[in-house]
Structure 1
């Protein structure tokens, strides 16, 4: 599995200079609010994705006294690899993988498959379908090698179709070549998604069933299902033709693989309307664990986990369940907390002391004895 063995940060947010050697399983990062704990997780996500999970404004990532930041990581899998990124306040960005220039975030993601769970993860239940699509497509991207190209081609076709729809005069016949290609690519995308979802949903129910919900058995009551971006009962191309006038008025294509969704129901009621905050977090954690499980099964690799403020909304019993699941998965985990005692004791019991601790204060990161 890919493991971060060394991490160097220079002028990243309030961390002016830091170098650490993470453990290969649980890395517990603790400190007061504003100390730089989440910034450390954020730096790892920038190395994996080329962007932050907290902001789209890259200048905020640069220490206010400097004009650029530099991140470097050494990874160990079958061989040792080096991953580096430098971002200047001018916007210039340099990415290097094993000393060679890299130009796409996909190249970085292949080197360092990463799952990030934080407060924004509640958007998987509360947010728009795009959030759930992106979450699930991370898995499809990694386990179906043809998905990336297929999705890229599909997105180009939809963009071209939307451009034509915004013209003053456009006929259905003029859209036909694009519709044909969209249908062909869309069916391929849905085939890959459906195949992966069948495995993913089974793993999700298994993890959900391990949580303690007191008097409610969510694993038997809750239903998760995948919805394609069009009505299954009607031919895809026929639906594009039926929707032509509506799409023309809207100026964009309103059905297709870019509109798919994952739904959570308790009977006929959306789960979000019935679940407590703690139950929601348990459901969300089950989604992440399922995604990691399927990734490991199909790729024979483990993703790296970033978990920001894991204890929030979880009682001691369910926190122990999560801790055990993460330890058994043998993924490399970076988890932040304000108060380390509960998590520390949890992982000392479940992971044979395979635990490393780091204290963060005013941007200074120090290894501690577990």
Structure 2
């Protein structure tokens, strides 16, 4: 199982320099707001494909506006050490992010298919089902990438083709052959993205179909025309349909300045399996319970599929949970063999983990002596 052995930060967020060598798989970090708990989790999240748990612009990651910053970590996976690093250096054209995996440089983290996967929740995700679909897509794609790392490459390829198409619609609208080639590329990658999402949503519904302690059984379904068509038609037929649709929307998309149809507009629906109540209509506490239920089911799914559970980064996970659900969550994380990090402002809510977890206190970007 993946386990974090060492984390080193340089000029990252509120950390000037930090070296942390956790000696337990289950870790509880406490400290006042602004002490650096979320920043530390964000640093770990940047060592997996994507833009991290905040999806922050590169310019925001350096300490006090620094263009140069670095994050590196050592993991143990199947008894072998794995070294991963990422960071940015100032250059003539601005800072650029770089990636290292076992000393080998990579153009992007999308190629790290052997790196440990990571999933997370943050307080901002408490609004996941009351705000726009973009946050839900990012959350779902993070779950898919943990099961199928290739999904990150498909997403990136789709986004590149869409960006080129949007630009071409504005600058060289008459280049029909070029537009057609881009739309064919978009359709190919869109179908791959939708198929991977369908697969994970189906599996998650299965894994979460029974209640886990105080957490309810959960049902998920995609809200996406492309995903729906894949349930009824072969992939090549769906590619042809989407390519034709994109061609028919060129005038509209040119006027609006964006692509109006595709997997970048997909959504998913999460609901209580027994009552049928959707998360969007549930209370904040119920939404948090449904979200954590998905995370716990997903961890079991990834362990079965990849023989290695994902790293769990749980930022303020106990907020909005009643006593029963808090107890269920704390009992569940004790059973994970991968690294699990929980954060909070106070130690007392995590008292049940005293004999199982390593507790540490952060203050102004540094660990206090234990």
TM-score bracket for the superposition, by shorter chain length = 0.7 to 0.9
- Contact 2:47 2:109 (8 Å CA) reproduced: no
Q: Structure 2 residue aligned with 1:357, among 351, 359, 370?
A: 359
Q: Which moved more, 1:57-66 or 1:250-259?
A: 57-66
Aligned to 2:307: 300
Aligned to 2:266: 260
Aligned to 1:20: 20
Give a deviation string over 1:248-292, Cα, whole Å, max 9, x none: 43233211222221023578975323x111111111112222222
Aligned to 1:322: 329
* Correspondence list, 1:30-41, <5 A: 30-41=30-41
* Correspondence list, 1:79-90, <5 A: 79-88=80-89
Q: Structure 2 residue aligned with 1:143, among 136, 144, 147?
A: 147
Aligned-residue offset at 1:98: 2.5
C-alpha separation in 1, matches of 2:340 and 2:225: 34
CA 1:268/1:245 → structure 2, altered by over 3 Å: closer, same or farther? farther
Aligned-residue offset at 1:25: 2.6
Aligned-residue offset at 1:359: 1.4
Alignment RMSD: 3.3
Runs of 5+ consecutive residues of structure 1 not aligned to the other structure: none
Give a deviation string over 1:147-194, Cα, whole Å, max 9, x none: 344444433333343334335754978754444443344333322322
Aligned to 2:280: 272
C-alpha separation in 2, matches of 1:299 and 1:186: 24
C-alpha separation in 1, matches of 2:202 and 2:69: 42
TM-score by length of 1: 0.81
Aligned-residue offset at 1:70: 3.8
CA 1:210/1:284 → structure 2, altered by over 3 Å: closer, same or farther? same
* Correspondence list, 1:1-370, <5 A: 1-48=1-48, 51=51, 53-54=53-54, 56-58=56-58, 60-64=60-64, 68-78=68-78, 79-88=80-89, 91=95, 93-107=97-111, 110-144=114-148, 146-167=150-171, 169-170=173-174, 175-206=179-210, 209-210=211-212, 212=214, 219=217, 223-230=219-226, 232=229, 235-240=241-246, 242-264=248-270, 271-273=279-281, 275-343=282-350, 345-348=351-354, 353-366=355-368, 368=370
- Contact 1:183 1:237 (8 Å CA) reproduced: yes
Runs of 4+ that moved beyond 6 A = 171-174, 266-269
- Contact 1:35 1:361 (8 Å CA) reproduced: yes
Runs of 5+ consecutive residues of structure 2 not aligned to the other structure: 233-237
- Contact 1:5 1:73 (8 Å CA) reproduced: yes
Number of residue pairs matched?
354
CA 1:354/1:107 → structure 2, altered by over 3 Å: closer, same or farther? farther
C-alpha separation in 2, matches of 1:141 and 1:70: 23
Matched position secondary structure for 1:205: coil
Matched position secondary structure for 1:33: coil
Give a deviation string over 1:76-98, Cα, whole Å, max 9, x none: 11311222344456625554333
C-alpha separation in 2, matches of 1:85 and 1:239: 39
Give a deviation string over 1:194-248, Cα, whole Å, max 9, x none: 2222101222333xx23537xxxx63xx753112244749944454455444334
